Amino acid sequence: MSGTYDFEVQIDGYVVENKERIQEALSEFGNFKLVDHNGMLCATAVMIIRMDDEEQSNAIARAIMKANGGRCEVLIRAYFLDDPPYNTYTYNKNLKYV
């Protein structure tokens, strides 16, 4: 579904020398900033997309692998922000608070 998403990307098993190339590839999609967490690259970005989030994730993963010069493990979480789940609680004067 198209809309606004928060994408979280984790990359494991990448070629260290290609970190800058991976950053450049991610920058084509959004304002991703790579951070190294004990040998795993992590990045997040909020993006408005016009395609399905699975298609977008697939394109991001392929760009990462191409920039890496080969396969690596890529985990992508896409959170839909346009209609997030929420709970509503209403309290009135009859609420016992003691």
Contact 74, 65 (CB under 8 A): yes
pLDDT mean across residues, the chain: 92
Query: Domain residues of the chain, as ranges?
Result: 3-80
Residue 82 pLDDT more than 70? yes
pLDDT digits (tens, 9 = 90+) for 23-68: 999 999 999 999 999 989 999 999 999 999 999 999 999 999 999 9
Place of tokens 């990462």: 64
Sequence-ordered alpha helix ranges (H) in the chain: 19-27, 53-68
3-80 CATH: 3.30.70.270
Residue 34, SS3 per DSSP = coil
Residue 10 pLDDT more than 70? yes
Quick one: what percent of the chain has pLDDT higher than 90?
80
